[in-house]
Structure 1
Amino acid sequence: MANYLGLDLGTSSLKVLIIDENQQPIATATAPLTVQRPEFGWSEQDPASWIEACRTAIAELKETHGAALTAVEGIGLSGHMHGATILGEGDEVLRPCILWNDTRSHREAAELDDEEARRITGNIVFPGFTAPKLAWVRRNEPEVFGRVRRVLLPKDYLRLWLTGEAVSEMSDAAGTSWLDTGRRDWSERMLERTGLTREHMPALVEGGESSGTLRAELASEWGIAGRVVVAGGGGDNAASACGVGVVKPGTGFLSLGTSGVLFTAAESYAPRPETAIHTFCHALPNTWHQMGVTLSAAGSIEWLSQFLREKPAELTGTLGESCEASGRLLFLPYLAGERTPHNDAAVRGVLVGLEASTDRRDVTRAVLEGVAFSMRDCLEAGGGVGSVTRLVAVGAGSRSAYWLDLMANALQCQIALPAAGDFGAALGAARLGLVAATGADPAAVMTEPPTARVFEPRAELAGAFAEAYGRYRSLYPAIRDWQARAGQPA
């Protein structure tokens, strides 16, 4: 039996997962990573640490599951997006990788973000994207920029080590501001605007296509005798979508981590950059995805937990498992600004409608509703109620049945909670490795995991939630204007 390996490069750790040909997990290993912050707003990593972490994780698997590792025939890659890994003439690293959450290039992003850029890329040029990072290097580190031979995304630097090939794939490349997202090819115009050319870019493949084979010396080191195909893979969110089977139009996933993501698959390219929604290529051919982001999802309940000195599970546990009609108390979850649909880094959160009788349960309920309405904002930015009929829930926040029931009613769609298991980016990467190695139909491979529970919207609550969402929407302009009158940045 053949096995397949998924490699997920995260910001804080690298994870490796082996699955068999029936997609059953066999073994997993992780290795920690650290982030360096040499100045305020900077976030960097040494690319050499990614290779060392991969060696460590593979060595652990070789020791504990050597036979499973020997049977690997395909590898897929996933990784955190937008990072600028800058290489010289001999593919030596010229400076630490500038990560996705680095904000130093805000000036350069603003200069690049215009009608032309949005028309070509389908997106706002955010400071976290790759192109403005290179514009920053060009302006502030000209000696480094003058030596640039190649720019790779983080997972693609690992690919270079694994295969010797400089290759990227569509879903990750779409987050650079250098890709013509509709054409699924590098934009020479956007490259020109940052002083680069197509020769500075890696080749492009689809996520389930081969990008090369594992180098013979690594195969020997890992104990593998045969040929191992390395798939294009995907950016972390696209790979996660492959892991939970979100590859067909009308499907999506709802990630309730520290930040919240609403990811939906689409078979056509329909960008809406004015709504601050990301429109990227999916990891599968002729497929795109839209992704709305709220910056404080589970982070909002974590804030409340610290404020009230009570664990999140204890706060949400008092609410039961079924939501009620929306209350009068409203919460804007803009604790760290907001991405979709406002693209407003300065706005801050607010709790409106406090009364003498307001208690912890009321505030907890309002915080959960505020995040649900922020995810409704993401849904409206991408296509509105009815554009997606089913969302798979993942992330720490999905442990709360009350919150998922609330999400179903706020979003007016079915929310599916997977049964226990590992359905993240590492599985999605392994699935892409399987497709590249075997030529299997991606639709047959990228299936939704078994479901533990399904939450349905209730017709009798639809009117109350629609009215409450309207009140929620009216708060942002008011708080933005109040900040301006109060002399705060807005």
Structure 2
Amino acid sequence: MIVGVDVGTSVTKAQLVARDGRTGPAHEARSTLYTLPGNRVEQDMDEVIGTVVTVVRAAVADAAQFAPDEPVEALALTGQGDGLWLRDARGRPVGRALSWMDGRAAPVLEGWSADGTTDAVFRRTGAGMFPGAAGPLLAHLAAHEPERLAAAETAGYCVDALTQRFTGERTVDASDASVPFLDVSTRTYDDEALGLCGLSDWRGLLADPAPPGTLFGLLPKVAAELGLPAGLPVSAGPFDIPACGFGSGLEKTGQGNLIIGTTLACQVLAADPAPGSGEPAGMVLATPYADRYLRVMPAMIGTAGLDWLLGMLGVRIEELDALLAQSPYGAGGVTALPFLSTSGERAPFVDARARGRLDGLSPLTGRADLVRALCEAVAYSARHCLETLGVAGEITACGGGARSGEWGRIFAGVLGRDVHVREDAVGIRGAARVAWDALGTAPETPASSFARVSRADPEAVSYYEDGYHRYLDTLEKARQSW
């Protein structure tokens, strides 16, 4: 069995995954997200690592009862991507980690968008940058805190920060390294992309990506803390978006995956690294498999906006399905733009000024109509992302929002096809799959064994086809006024 760990933005989870597909109890620990003036969002790296130790120890304690005849074969890590986790030569933090939600570098990105830098980097690496990406954050620190960069040996990410602390290895997973400076076809950094961003002098801070299939050994001192044997193989990545894709069952090129979480991540498995059509947004990721890439649109919309609306209306999340069922297709004439992040939007377009809205209100509008309009708008955005990425096959879904059967039917109707839903431990399952592949031992049960399917109703498909094009028209006009 595998001990899987998923380090989220504020919650770290760990559980055992057996070869037959069973998962052990999920153990969670929260870490602090510091939201500060100047659109800064930070985390304490040592605190985050402490949460990992806590949940891994709890998961390991389940092993004897959970699968007494199976040994622990590896520790599989995944977690949040992007941001900037600066470390010194011993792997200690150089200040707090800058979250992927951090907005301090927005002025940098605005300048790069105006002078063509963003587009030029996108054409070279397929990475559409946003304020919380490593490129703008590095440039911001180079301009305002160069002494901090000078004190660091590594400018990395969450998962490789854990890996260095647990194994002593200075490394990075290719998926994390992909944004924004990696040539994903060669898995080497594009020096011209670095130069375009004015960061050539800081190239040494970027660790070289580990080759596909690399495993590291757990340090004795750390192993004792975790309750695991010294030298146990450690699989370090991919980060959470690709891990969820593989944990949901992405196997064939053209297949798509939706992660309906706090934010909405849309991804398509591809055989070549060319970015999808459209504006410089999203990313192309190297994966643990040398001949496969992920085209990704990590939109900022998702369940966070829904939570805000439900809170405003005094509705509990447990009431969501019943509420959606009370409103017909089209939400009684109410429509929405779902851009409810203070950071604006980053996929399938980048605009820090993007904001949400509700239209078509009347005295007949009820709470159910408002909620349905927002849920339909998120589904429209998902279709916008997936079509931009070039989806051509089966679509899977996971994340907290995927637990809603009614919302799942909205997604299926808008996308015009059935949506295959995997509900439990998806990121951890994906990390475990990568670990087993690196060990050369496949699990007995593939990740493509899904819990349920949200069916596409023909009437809904017909209605939402027109609704989607109205959404695109409204969006285009709104973008001109933001």
Give me the TM-score of the superposition, normalised by structure 1: 0.87
**Structure 1 Cα separation of the partners of residues 30 and 170 of structure 2:** 25
Q: Deviations over 1:374-408 (max 9, x none)?
A: 2121122212xxx3332222223223322211211
2:247 is the counterpart of 1:243: yes
Cross-structure match for 2:289: 284
**Structure 2 Cα separation of the partners of residues 27 and 6 of structure 1:** 11
Q: Is the alpha carbon distance of 1:116 and 1:446 closer, same or farther for their aligned partners in structure 2, counting shifts above 3 Å?
A: farther
Q: Is the alpha carbon distance of 1:15 and 1:117 closer, same or farther for their aligned partners in structure 2, counting shifts above 3 Å?
A: same
* SS of match in other structure, 1:30: strand
Deviation at 1:320, TM superposition (A): 3.2
Deviation at 1:249, TM superposition (A): 1.5
Q: Is the alpha carbon distance of 1:298 and 1:63 closer, same or farther for their aligned partners in structure 2, counting shifts above 3 Å?
A: closer
Q: Is the alpha carbon distance of 1:304 and 1:92 closer, same or farther for their aligned partners in structure 2, counting shifts above 3 Å?
A: closer
The amino acid across from 2:49 in the alignment is I
Cross-structure match for 1:59: 57
Q: Is the alpha carbon distance of 1:399 and 1:77 closer, same or farther for their aligned partners in structure 2, counting shifts above 3 Å?
A: closer
Deviation at 1:326, TM superposition (A): 7.3
Cross-structure match for 1:382: 389
**Structure 2 Cα separation of the partners of residues 224 and 363 of structure 1:** 50
Contact 1:241 1:247 in 2 (8 A): no
Cross-structure match for 1:372: 379
- Select the residue among 183, 186, 189 that pairs with 1:183: 186
Deviation at 1:225, TM superposition (A): 4.4
User: What is the aligned residue count?
Assistant: 471
Cross-structure match for 2:366: 359
Structure 2 alignment gaps of length 5 or more: none
Q: Is the alpha carbon distance of 1:424 and 1:408 closer, same or farther for their aligned partners in structure 2, counting shifts above 3 Å?
A: same
The amino acid across from 1:85 in the alignment is W
Cross-structure match for 1:486: none
Range 347-356 or range 100-109, more displaced: 347-356
* SS of match in other structure, 2:425: coil
Contact 2:21 2:446 in 1 (8 A): no
Q: Deviations over 1:128-161 (max 9, x none)?
A: 1112212211111122222332222111011011
Cross-structure match for 1:15: 13
Deviation at 1:103, TM superposition (A): 0.8
Cross-structure match for 2:234: 230
The amino acid across from 1:340 in the alignment is A
Q: Is the alpha carbon distance of 1:225 and 1:104 closer, same or farther for their aligned partners in structure 2, counting shifts above 3 Å?
A: closer
After superposition, where does 1:431-446 map in structure 2 within 5 Å?
Answer: 431-437=433-439, 439-440=440-441
Q: Is the alpha carbon distance of 1:397 and 1:212 closer, same or farther for their aligned partners in structure 2, counting shifts above 3 Å?
A: closer
* SS of match in other structure, 1:279: strand
After superposition, where does 1:98-109 map in structure 2 within 5 Å?
Answer: 98-109=98-109
Range 466-475 or range 300-309, more displaced: 300-309
Cross-structure match for 2:316: 311
* SS of match in other structure, 1:286: coil
**Structure 2 Cα separation of the partners of residues 169 and 343 of structure 1:** 25
After superposition, where does 1:89-488 map in structure 2 within 5 Å?
Answer: 89-112=89-112, 113-175=117-179, 177-192=180-195, 193-196=198-201, 198-206=203-211, 209-225=213-229, 227-272=231-276, 274=279, 276-320=281-325, 324=329, 328-336=333-341, 337-383=344-390, 387-418=391-422, 422-437=424-439, 439-440=440-441, 447-452=447-452, 454-481=453-480, 483=481
Deviation at 1:224, TM superposition (A): 4.2
Contact 1:331 1:370 in 2 (8 A): yes
Contact 2:330 2:373 in 1 (8 A): no
Deviation at 1:189, TM superposition (A): 2.8
Q: Deviations over 1:253-312 (max 9, x none)?
A: 222223222222112212136152332223332211122244333334323322322224
Give me the TM-score of the superposition, normalised by structure 2: 0.88
**Structure 2 Cα separation of the partners of residues 321 and 388 of structure 1:** 33
Q: Is the alpha carbon distance of 1:466 and 1:228 closer, same or farther for their aligned partners in structure 2, counting shifts above 3 Å?
A: same
**Seq. identity, %:** 27
Q: Is the alpha carbon distance of 1:205 and 1:382 closer, same or farther for their aligned partners in structure 2, counting shifts above 3 Å?
A: same
Deviation at 1:62, TM superposition (A): 4.7
Contact 1:41 1:103 in 2 (8 A): yes
Q: Is the alpha carbon distance of 1:40 and 1:66 closer, same or farther for their aligned partners in structure 2, counting shifts above 3 Å?
A: farther
Cross-structure match for 2:74: 74
**Structure 1 Cα separation of the partners of residues 120 and 349 of structure 2:** 20
Q: Is the alpha carbon distance of 1:74 and 1:323 closer, same or farther for their aligned partners in structure 2, counting shifts above 3 Å?
A: farther
**Structure 2 Cα separation of the partners of residues 40 and 181 of structure 1:** 33
The amino acid across from 2:139 in the alignment is A
**Pairwise CA RMSD of aligned residues?**
2.8
Q: Is the alpha carbon distance of 1:87 and 1:227 closer, same or farther for their aligned partners in structure 2, counting shifts above 3 Å?
A: closer
Contact 2:53 2:225 in 1 (8 A): no
**Structure 2 Cα separation of the partners of residues 224 and 375 of structure 1:** 41
Structure 1 alignment gaps of length 5 or more: 484-489
